[in-house]
């Protein structure tokens, strides 16, 4: 059995989305057997139009608002 090393690279959500959008659905980067629900989700993400107006600040503001609502409930 071969040893597998993990690599951790910090990226923002925007960077991840950009990287995924650059992948071609018929040319996978890595051949793996994925559960059908995950495969369906990935295929659905490929057909979505790009979202260019969401920033990390928008996401953090939304997270803070939801957390504040849950603390008030």
Q: What percent of the chain has pLDDT over 90?
A: 11
At residue 63, the pLDDT reads 93
Q: Supply angle C-alpha 31, 34, 39, rounded to 5.
A: 105
Confidence of residue 1 (pLDDT cuts 50, 70, 90): very low
Quick one: tokens of 64?
């803070």
Confidence of residue 65 (pLDDT cuts 50, 70, 90): very high
Please state, in angstroms and rounded to a whole number, the distance separating the CA atoms of residues 70 and 29. 39
4-37 in b/e burial notation, b at 16+ Cβ within 10 A? eeeeeeeeeeeeebeeeeeeeeeeeeeeeeeeee
Question: Is 32 or 7 the better-scoring residue by pLDDT?
Answer: 7
Instruction: Give residue for tokens 């959008």.
Output: 21
Average pLDDT over residues 26-34: 62
Residues paired with residue 24 on neighbouring β-strands, in sequence order: 27
- Domain of residue 65, residue span: 13-18+34-72
The rounded mean pLDDT for the chain is 78
Residue 23 located in a structural domain: no
Residue 28 located in a structural domain: no
Residue 49 located in a structural domain: yes
């Amino acid at each position: 059995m071969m040893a597998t090393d993990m690599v951790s690279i910090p990226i923002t959500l925007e960077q991840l989305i950009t990287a995924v959008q650059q992948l071609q659905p018929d040319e996978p980067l890595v051949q793996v057997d994925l559960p059908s629900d995950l495969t369906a989700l990935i295929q659905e993400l490929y057909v979505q139009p790009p979202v260019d107006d969401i920033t990390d600040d928008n996401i953090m503001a939304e997270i803070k608002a939801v957390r504040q609502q849950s603390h008030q409930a």
